[in-house]
Structure 1
Amino acid sequence: MSATFGQHLVGRDQELGFLFGHLREVEFRGRAVGLLGEPGVGKSALLDHVLVHAESHGFTVLTARASQAETAFPFAGLHQLLRPLLPSADRLPVNQRDALLACFAMTDSNATNPFFTSLAVLELVVEAARRAPVLLAVDDLHWMDQPSIDVVGFVARRIANERVVLLCTSRPRPLPFADHRTVEWLELAGIDTASSAALLEARAPQLSWSARDRVLRQAHGNPLALLEFATALESGRNAWSDGDEDLPMTTRLERAFAVRVEHLDAPVRAVLAIAAIDDGDSISDLLAAASRLYGSSIGPPMAQPAFDQGLLVPTGDRYRIAHPLIGSALRQSSSLAARREAHAALAEVLGDHPDRATWHRASSMSERDEQVAADLEQAAGRARRRGAVASAAAWLERAAALSPDPASQATRLLSAAELSFQLGRFNEVERIKGQVAQMTLQTRDRSRLLWLEGVFHDGSTGEPAEVRRLVDMAADATASNDSDLAMQLLVGAARRVWWRDPGKILRHQIVLAAERVGVPANDPRLLAIYALAESHEYSQMVFDHLERWISDADVRPELAGLLGIAAFCTGDFPRALTFLSTPIEALRTQGRLSLLAEALAIRAWAEIYLGIFEVARSADEAVRLADETGQSTWAATARIAVAFDHAVRGGHEADHDLLTQAQLVALRTPNASSSLLAGVQLARGVAELGIDHHEQAYRELRRVFDPADPAFQRAQQVWTLSYLADAAVHTGQEAEARTILGSMERLAGASPAAGATIALEYSRAVLAENTSAETLFEGALHGAGRKLPWHRARVELAYGSWLRRHRRVIESRVPLRAARDDFHAVGARTWAARANAELRATGERGWQPSPAPRELLSPQEAQIADLAAQGLSNREIGERLFLSHRTVGSHLYRIFPKMGVTSRSQLAGALTDAGDDSRE
C-alpha cells in the first residue's frame, strides 16, 4: 500500500533527502527523528523506504510495528525492536541483564528497575553500533505500550554521540513524548497535485475522468486515500454519498476498507475479525481462533483471500494488518457482541500466554465477574514486578471495571491511582480520585484516598483552603490512630507552605497537628515539618535533634532525605549536604530518577548558599533528570541554580533563557511561585553585582524582602540578605538595608544556623557605621564563613574596599589580594576581576589569571572526570549517570586534551590544579 513506482516513492523527494542525510551523518552524530501525520499520509511508506536504504548501506536495522491491540501489553513493542539483540544480553552487567530479561518474563529474577531496563537497551544498541551503524525504526509509536515508549524515549535522549539513528512514526495528537526535545518531529502533509495525479494514473489508469477528479478532490494528497478510493470506484462498491467529502479522512478510509471486507466469504471475515483484536502476530493462533469463531476449521487456503486482497501481510509464520486503519475499520464495522465473541475465541487458544488470555477473556465479558477481575489483578502484579508500572495501572482499572463488589472495585481503582502517582501522572490520579470519591469506602481505602490527596507537592495548588483541608484530614487520621497517614498528609501540607507562605496561623496549625500525632520528637518527618513550616521558630529544636542523627540515618535513605530537607530549610547547609549524600547515592543505585532529581536540586542550592560552585555535580544533572521525568518545578529549581553559577563564574548577566523558563513554571504552578521567583531574583541580583550594576542589583534583590511581592519567601530572604547589603552600600540605601537587617535578626533568632549566620555577619559589617565597621569585619573574617572561600572572599573584598575608601591603601592590599585569589580559586571570574580592579586602584598591577583546567569542561564532562579520577570504569560511570559506557568513553576522549593529560591516572592531579597566577 505504499505510494511507489517500483523503487521510487512518489512526491517525497524532499523528505527522503532529509532522512537520508541523517543516515549519512551517523558517523558524526546520532539523531532521533519522528514523522508526524494523519492516517494514510505515507508515514509507514517513508519509513519502509528508509529501512531499505539503510540496509543497503550497511546499517543494522531493528524494527517494531506497534498495533492498537498490543497497547495494553507491557514491553510488547520493545521485545519486537530488541529481539535480534537479546542473545547478547548475557554480556550486560547483572543488574541490567536481570532488569531487561525480567520485563520480557525471561527470568525468575524480581529485578524491576525500569531505568536499568532502559540502560540495558541503550548498552545493547550502542554495542551493536560498534560493529555497524544502527537504525531503530518504530512504526505507529502512538500505539506502542507505555513501558516500551518510555524506554524508546530514554534511548532517544542518549544517542547524540553514538552511531545510532532512531526513526519513528506517530499520529500528531497527542505526541507520544511529553518532552518535545526527545525527538525532532517532521510533520507530513499530503503529496502535491502532480504527484497525486501521477500515482493515481499508475495505479488506476482505467478510471474515468470524472471518477479520477473525484478521487483527487477527496484524497487531498493522502496517498492511501488515492489508492483505496480508486480501488473502491473500480470495484463498483464505493458506498459513497454526496456528503462524504465533509467527513474526516479517517472515517472515509475506514468506510472504504469496511466495504471491501463485506464482500468476502465468511471464513475470511472470521480471520479478519480475529486479526482486528489480536495483540499477537502468530498465523497459527490467528487461524485457530478464527476456526473457533467460525465454528469449523479454517486452514491457510481458506484465509488466503485476506492476504491476496492486501488486508493482511504475511512474514513467514507471522502476519500483520497491512494498515492500522484496516484494523480500525474492522472493529468499527462489527457489533460489540461480535467483538466479544472474537475476544473469547482468541482467549481460548492462548493457553501458553496467560496474561494475554486474561486480557481477551476480560474483553469478552458482558457483565462483571470477580474471577476475571482477580485474574486481571494478578496479571497487573506480574506486570508491576517486570517494571511495567503503566501497564499494571491500566490492568487494575480494567479489573475494577469488572468487579461486582463495589468495595473491591474501589480498592483496585486506588491501587491504579497509586501506581499512576509513582509515574507522576497527576491527571490520571485526579480522574481516578474523582471516581472513588463517589463510592462507599472501607476504612483502609478511605485512608489511601486521603493519602492521595496529600501527595502532590510538585505542581499542586498551595491555596490556604487546600492546605487547611490536608491538616483537617491529618487530624482525622490521628483520631483513627493512623499515624503514618497523618504524617504523610502533614509533610505534604508543610511542603506546600514552603513553596508559598499561607500565613503564620496556618503554618502553626500544621506544626500543632504534627505534634498531636504523637511520634517521637526526633522523627525525621516531624523535623521536616518543623523546618518546612516554621524554619526560624523551630530551628534550634531541629538543630539539636539533627546533631543526634548519624549521616545515613541508620542506613535508611528515605529518612536521611527528610533529615536533609530539615537541615536545608533551617539553613544548616553543611549538614544538609551530609544527609543528602546518602539518599542521592541510594536513589542513583536504585535508578529512581524522579526522586534523585529532587534530591540533587536541593543539594545544588545547599552548595550555592555555602558558596561551593561545583554545581555541575548537582544542578546540571538535576535539570536533565527532572526534564526527563517531567518534574517541572524541580527542573526550574535546578535551572535557577545553574544560572546563579553562571552569573558568579563570569556571565555579564544571569542566563536569560534559564530564568525565563523558571518564571514560566512559577506562573503555571502557583504553589511554587514565591520560592522559584525568590531564586530568580537572587540569581539576577548576583549577576548585576558581579559587573558593578548596583542600582539594578538592589532593585532585583529588594523584591525578595517585600511581603506584597510574589518573590517574597520567608527563609530565602535571610540567605539573600548579604547580597542586598552589598548593593545597598553602593547605592545610598544603607538606612533601608539596616532596617531590613534588624528584621532579619529578629526572624533568625538568637541561635541561627550557618546560612543565616554567614549572611548576618557579612551584612552587619558592610552596613555598619565607621566606628564599628572594622571590628565587625574582623569578626566576619573569623566567623561562620571563614572556611568557605566564596564567603571569606566576599568579606575580604568588602573589607579591603572599606580600607581603601578610608585612605588606608597599603593595608587594603592584603585583604584585596586574598579576595582576588580566593575568587579565582572558586572560579568566580567576575568577582576576581572586581577585586583586582580595587587592587589596581591602590597602585598594584600585573595580575594575569590563567583558567583552572576544570573550567574548560562542561558540567557533564566535569562529573565524568571526577568519577574517572576516583577510579571508576567507563561502565560504572555510565551506570551512575544513566549513559552508555561508550558515551562515557567519548567524553573522556575529549576531556583528556582539555585537561592536558594522557591517562586516567593523571586526572586527579589535573582536576585539583587551580592554574598558576602570573604576577609582576
Structure 2
Amino acid sequence: MLDPMNTVTRQRLVGRDDELRSLFGHLDGVGFRGRAIGLLGEPGVGKSALQAEAVEHARSLGFAVLTARGSQSETHLPFAGLHQVLRPLLPRVDRLPTTQRDALLACFAMGDSTEINPFFTFLAVLELLVDAARQTPVLVCLDDLHWMDQPSIDAFAFVTRRIASERIIVLCTSRPEALPFADAHTVEWTELNGIDETASAALLDARAPHLSSTLRDRVLWQARGNPLALLEFAAALESGRYAWTEFDEDLPMTTRLEQAFAARAEHLAPAVRAVLTVAAVDDGDDINDVLAAAQILHGSPLDRALVQPAFEHGLLTVVGERYRVAHPLVGSALRQAMPPATRQQAHAALARVLAPHPDRAVWHRSFSLSGRNEQIAAELEQAADNAQRRGAVASAAAWLERAAALSPDPQSRAARLLSAAELGYQLGRFSQVEQIKAQVTGMTLRQRDRSRLTWLEGVFHDGSTGEPAEVRHLVGMAQHATDAQDVDLAMQLLVGAARRVWWRDPGETVRHEIVQAAQQVSVPAHDPRLLAIYALSESHEQGPTVIEQLTRWPADAGGRPDLAGLLGIAAFCTGDFRRAVAFLSTPVQELRAQGRMSLLAEALAIRAWAEIYLGTFDVASSADEAMRLADETGQSLWAATARIAVALIDAVGRGWDAGHDLLSEAEHVALRTPNAASSLLAGVQLARGIAELGANRHDQAYGELRRVYTPADPAFQRVQQVWTLSYLADAAVRTGRRAEARSVLTSVEDLVGASPSTGSTIALEYSRAVLADPASAESLFRTAMEGAGRRLPWHRARAELAYGSWLRRQRRVVDSREPLRAARATFDALGARTWAQRADQELRATGERGWQPTSNPRELLSPQEAQIAELAAQGLSNREIGQRLFLSHRTVSSHLYRMFPKLGIVSRNQLAAAPNNPGNQARRDHLQSGDAS
C-alpha cells in the first residue's frame, strides 16, 4: 500500500492522512470487494481534493478511471452525468444485448429508438462497467453528486447496489444537506470536517508565506479549517482585490467564498467576462458552444487565446474540447454577480447556438424571458414528454415545473404543476409532491385538476390513511368525474379510495359508498378496475360476483399486464389465491421484461402472500425479490409487506424464538403511517402466531393471533382474520379456549356468507374440525382433508396433523399414525421443518421412533442463489438470467460458482436435476394440480 505519510501526497494535501489511508485501503482491496464510498462536506472542505488524490493513487495501481461532475446548471439535462462517465466506454456498446444497447443509446439520443427503458439502461451501464473491470479495476468518480441530473443518479444508485463482487469502486462527493441517494445503504458515507489548527497553519504558510501576522490570524479564524477558504482568502488579500469588512464574520462561509471568487473575476477584460457569464449558465461542457454564445453576447469574434485569463486565474478548466467551471462556488458567484438582463442575454445566446438540440434550446430560451409565454411553456411541456419517453421522468418533472412558471393562464399553470407532481409520485418524491400540492391548493383549478389534486392526497401511503372523510372526498370527486363522463379519472379515484380500505378500514358505510359510486360508472361488469374496487372495498359481500367475473378472463388478461395486475388484486382480496397467482404471474413476467421495478415489487409482494396462503413457503419464489426491489425503489409499504412474508416463511421453515428483525422493521413502518396500516399489522401478528405454534408455545400464539379479531386493536383486519382463523383454532384447542374460538368462528361464518371463496372455505373447514365436539369431529376432519384444500399439500398436511393428533387424544393410537406420517412426510418435503417436527413429536407420543429429516441441499442456497439455480436449470444463459434479475452476467456467474459445492455438483449441466429435488417439487405441486377455483 502507498503510505500517504511517506509520499508527495502529504505535501499537496495537508491534514487528511486518515482519510487518504482509508480511501487507499479500499482501492488496494478492490480484488476482494467492490464498494461505493461517499465524502460529505460543506463547499471547500476538500472533498474534490481527496477524490483527486484517490484518482492519482488508483492510476498508479493500474485502475481505469471514469469521472463525472455535477453542475447546478445541468440538473435538468437527463443522463448528462452518465454520459460523462461512459464516454470512454461507448465504443464497447455493441457488445451489449440489443435491448440494453438500444436503451442506453436512446437515453443519449444516439440511436434510432426514442423509447427507452430506464432499468435496461441501468443494466447496460452495469454491464459496461463490469466488462471494463474484467481487464483492469475501475474507479468511478462522481463529484458534486447532489447537482447531477436525477436519471444519472438513479443509474449510479442501481450500479452501486450490484458491485460487491466486482472490481469496481464508486467514489462520490456531496453536500450533507442534500444526500442524493434515497437508500442510505447504497453508499458508505464519511462526513468531512475542516482540517485541524496545525494543518491549517501549515497549509496557509505554504501557500501565502508573506501575509502579515494580523492577516494570517484573521484568515485562520475566518476559514475555520476549510482548506479552500484558507487558500482563497489568502489569495484575495494578497492581490488587494478583496478587503475585510465588519460584516464578514456574520456571513456564511459559502457567501464569503463566493465574494472572493467574484472579486477574482471583476478585473478581467469584457471578452473574458462574456465567456465566464455564458459558462456560468451553460448546461453542457463543450467549450466551442460557450465561445460561440459568448461571441454573440460580446458582439465581436472570440477565440481561446482571448479568454486564456479565465483559465490562468483558475476560474475555468479545459481538456480538449471539454471545459468545466473550476469549482461550483465559482459558477454560483458568477451567477449572483451578473445583472438579470445579462443572465437573460446569456441564455438567449445559448439558445441560438443550441438550435440543433431543441430541448436544450427551449430550456435556455425559457430563461431568456422576463415574463410568461404560452408558446415557450407549450414547447417545454413537449420537451417534458420527450424526456419521459426517454425514461428521464425526473427531468420531465423539472421541464413541467418550468413550463408551469411560464404559463400565462393560471389553470394551465396548475395543470402542468399537477402533471409534475404525478411524475414526482412515480419517483417516490414525497417532499416535491407536497410542495406542489401546497402551491396548487390556493389556485383556481379545472374540475378535472381538482380531482387529480384530491387523488394525490395521501398517495404516498398507498391509501393507508383510511380516514372516512378523506375517502369520502375521493368518492365525491369520482362522482363529479362520472358526471363529466371522465370514466378513466373516476375509476382511478375509486381504485385509490378502495386501496385505502385495504390498508385501514374506514367502516361499513364508507365501503359501501365506494361500491355504489363504482356501480354508477359506465364500465362493463367484468372491467378489472371495477372488480378490484369491489374486492378491495367489500371482499366478502362482493366476493361471489367478483369470482364469477374473474372466470371470464384468461390467465394473461388478453395480453394486458396492467389489467392482469388488477385482476390479481381482485382475486387475492376475495381469497381466490390460485387465480391470484396465475393473474399476477403475467404482469410479473411483463414488468420484469420491461424493467419496471417499482410495479414489479408490488406484484411480487402480493403474489408472495397469495403463495403463502396456498401453502408455498419458498422465499425465493417472490418474497425475497419483492423485498429487495421495494427497498431499492423506496416503496416502504410494499417492502414491509414483503418483509413480513419473508419472516413468516422463515418461521415455517426454521422457526425463530426471539422475534424477527424483519418483522420489527415492518411493524415500525406500519405504525408510522397515518392511523397505522392494519393489514401490515395483521400480517405481523400472523407471522408471530405461526412462529409460536411451530415452537409449541400455544398461549403466546393465541395472544398474538387474537389481536387480529379485536376491533379496537390496530391489527384488526376484517379480511385477513378469515385467513388467520385456522391458526387461531390450533392455538385455542391447546390452551382451553375452544368456546372463545368457536365464537370467533361463528362471526367469521357470518362475515363470509353462504358462498365463500376457496381460501375462506379452506380456513372454515379446518377450523370447524379442530373446534368440533368429539361426536362430530371425525366427519369434519375428513371434510377438511378431502375438501377445498385436498390438492394443496400444506393445507392437507395440516388437516392430517390435526386429525392424527385428535385421534391420539381419543386413544386411537394405531389409527393416528397414518395421518401423522403423511403430514410429517409432506411438511418435510415442503421444507416446513418446524411443522414436520411437530408431527414427529405426535408420532413419538404414539411410540414410533427413528425419523430423520430429509437433507435438502437447496436449503443451503440464499434466495437469490435459488432463483439463479432455477433459471439456469431452465437453460437460460448468464446474460439472460442477469437481465431477468437485474444483475450483471458476471455476478450470476459468481453465484453459480459458489452454489455448485452446496448442491454437490460440479457443472452447470447438473443443475437441471439439482434444484428439482423432492422438496422443491412439492413446493410447486399446489400450483400445478387441481382446478383454478
TM-score band by shorter chain is over 0.9
**Counterpart-to-counterpart distance in 1, 2:546 and 2:345:** 65
- Match in the other structure for 2:645: 641
**1:291 aligned onto 2:295:** yes
- Match in the other structure for 1:223: 227
Q: Give, as a single letter, the amino acid of the residue that structure 2 aligns with 1:531.
A: A
Q: Deviations over 1:751-798 (max 9, x none)?
A: 211211111111111111112222211221112222222222222222
- Match in the other structure for 2:799: 795
**Counterpart-to-counterpart distance in 2, 1:23 and 1:801:** 61
Q: Give, as a single letter, the amino acid of the residue that structure 2 aligns with 1:317.
A: E
- Match in the other structure for 1:334: 338
**1:624 aligned onto 2:649:** no
- Match in the other structure for 1:685: 689
C-alpha change, 1:76 and 1:194, in structure 2 (3 Å) is: same
Q: CA deviation at 1:18?
A: 1.1
**Counterpart-to-counterpart distance in 2, 1:619 and 1:722:** 23
- Match in the other structure for 1:582: 586
Decide which of 102, 105, 108 is 1:101's aligned counterpart: 105
**Counterpart-to-counterpart distance in 1, 2:812 and 2:451:** 69
Contact 2:829–2:854 (CA under 8 A) maintained in structure 1: no
Q: Give, as a single letter, the amino acid of the residue that structure 2 aligns with 1:81.
A: V
C-alpha change, 1:536 and 1:608, in structure 2 (3 Å) is: same
Decide which of 659, 663, 666 is 1:659's aligned counterpart: 663
Contact 1:644–1:654 (CA under 8 A) maintained in structure 2: no
Q: CA deviation at 1:173?
A: 1.0
- Match in the other structure for 1:303: 307
- Match in the other structure for 1:881: 885
Q: CA deviation at 1:172?
A: 0.7
**1:380 aligned onto 2:384:** yes
- Match in the other structure for 1:554: 558
- Match in the other structure for 2:420: 416
Q: Deviations over 1:775-827 (max 9, x none)?
A: 21122111222222222222222222222222222222222222211111111
Contact 1:643–1:654 (CA under 8 A) maintained in structure 2: no
- Match in the other structure for 1:907: 911
- Match in the other structure for 2:929: none
**Equivalent residues in 2 for 1:450-599 (5 A)?**
452=456, 458=462, 461-599=465-603
Contact 1:546–1:567 (CA under 8 A) maintained in structure 2: yes
Contact 1:535–1:569 (CA under 8 A) maintained in structure 2: yes
- Percent identity reads 72
Decide which of 197, 201, 204 is 1:197's aligned counterpart: 201
- Match in the other structure for 2:926: none
- Match in the other structure for 1:611: 615
**Counterpart-to-counterpart distance in 2, 1:881 and 1:655:** 30
**Counterpart-to-counterpart distance in 2, 1:485 and 1:374:** 23
* Structure 2 stretches lacking a partner, 5+ long: 1-6, 921-933
**Counterpart-to-counterpart distance in 2, 1:629 and 1:484:** 26
Mean Cα displacement is larger for which, 468-477 or 256-265?
256-265
- Match in the other structure for 1:314: 318
Q: CA deviation at 1:340?
A: 1.5
Q: Deviations over 1:75-129 (max 9, x none)?
A: 1111001001111111211111111101101112133211111111111111111
- Match in the other structure for 1:132: 136
Residue 35 of structure 1 aligns to a residue in which SS?
strand
Q: CA deviation at 1:445?
A: 4.7
Q: CA deviation at 1:506?
A: 0.8
- Match in the other structure for 2:811: 807
Q: Give, as a single letter, the amino acid of the residue that structure 2 aligns with 1:226.
A: L
Q: CA deviation at 1:484?
A: 2.1
TM-score, normalization: structure 2? 0.95
Q: Deviations over 1:208-229 (max 9, x none)?
A: 2222221111111111011111
Residue 88 of structure 2 aligns to a residue in which SS?
helix
Q: CA deviation at 1:296?
A: 2.7
**Counterpart-to-counterpart distance in 1, 2:384 and 2:399:** 5
Residue 307 of structure 2 aligns to a residue in which SS?
helix
- Match in the other structure for 2:401: 397
Q: Deviations over 1:833-872 (max 9, x none)?
A: 1211222222211122243121111111111111111111
Q: Give, as a single letter, the amino acid of the residue that structure 2 aligns with 1:551.
A: A
C-alpha change, 1:579 and 1:8, in structure 2 (3 Å) is: same
**Counterpart-to-counterpart distance in 2, 1:800 and 1:453:** 53
Residue 558 of structure 2 aligns to a residue in which SS?
coil
- Match in the other structure for 1:702: 706
Q: Give, as a single letter, the amino acid of the residue that structure 2 aligns with 1:248.
A: P
**Counterpart-to-counterpart distance in 1, 2:258 and 2:329:** 6
Q: Give, as a single letter, the amino acid of the residue that structure 2 aligns with 1:123.
A: E
Residue 226 of structure 1 aligns to a residue in which SS?
helix
- Match in the other structure for 1:143: 147
Q: Give, as a single letter, the amino acid of the residue that structure 1 aligns with 2:409.
A: D
**Counterpart-to-counterpart distance in 1, 2:216 and 2:459:** 60
Contact 2:540–2:752 (CA under 8 A) maintained in structure 1: yes
**Counterpart-to-counterpart distance in 1, 2:288 and 2:483:** 61
- Match in the other structure for 2:849: 845
Q: CA deviation at 1:425?
A: 2.7
Residue 840 of structure 1 aligns to a residue in which SS?
helix
**Counterpart-to-counterpart distance in 2, 1:171 and 1:363:** 26
Contact 1:473–1:486 (CA under 8 A) maintained in structure 2: yes
* Structure 1 stretches lacking a partner, 5+ long: none
Decide which of 152, 160, 163 is 1:159's aligned counterpart: 163
Q: CA deviation at 1:55?
A: 1.2
Q: Deviations over 1:565-609 (max 9, x none)?
A: 111001111111111111111111111111111110000000111
**Equivalent residues in 2 for 1:275-286 (5 A)?**
275-286=279-290
Residue 549 of structure 1 aligns to a residue in which SS?
coil
Q: Deviations over 1:499-535 (max 9, x none)?
A: 1111111111111111111322222111111111111
Following superposition, which runs of at least 4 residues in structure 1 exceed 6 angstroms of deviation?
3-7
- Match in the other structure for 1:78: 82
Q: CA deviation at 1:645?
A: 0.5
- Match in the other structure for 2:730: 726
Contact 2:41–2:191 (CA under 8 A) maintained in structure 1: yes
C-alpha change, 1:185 and 1:63, in structure 2 (3 Å) is: same
**Counterpart-to-counterpart distance in 2, 1:759 and 1:854:** 30
Mean Cα displacement is larger for which, 34-43 or 348-357?
348-357
Q: CA deviation at 1:344?
A: 1.9
Q: CA deviation at 1:653?
A: 3.4
C-alpha change, 1:457 and 1:203, in structure 2 (3 Å) is: closer
Q: Give, as a single letter, the amino acid of the residue that structure 2 aligns with 1:196.
A: S
CA RMSD of aligned residues (A): 1.9
**Counterpart-to-counterpart distance in 1, 2:133 and 2:448:** 52
Q: CA deviation at 1:614?
A: 1.7
- Match in the other structure for 2:433: 429
**1:898 aligned onto 2:910:** no
**1:56 aligned onto 2:57:** no
**Counterpart-to-counterpart distance in 2, 1:762 and 1:242:** 83
**1:89 aligned onto 2:103:** no
Residue 711 of structure 2 aligns to a residue in which SS?
coil
Contact 2:828–2:854 (CA under 8 A) maintained in structure 1: no
**Counterpart-to-counterpart distance in 2, 1:671 and 1:864:** 40
**Counterpart-to-counterpart distance in 2, 1:370 and 1:572:** 52
Contact 2:463–2:499 (CA under 8 A) maintained in structure 1: no
TM-score, normalization: structure 1? 0.96
Contact 1:780–1:786 (CA under 8 A) maintained in structure 2: yes
Q: Give, as a single letter, the amino acid of the residue that structure 2 aligns with 1:875.
A: R
Q: Deviations over 1:640-685 (max 9, x none)?
A: 0001001111132375221111111112222661000000001011
C-alpha change, 1:509 and 1:843, in structure 2 (3 Å) is: same
**Counterpart-to-counterpart distance in 1, 2:10 and 2:798:** 74
- Match in the other structure for 1:181: 185
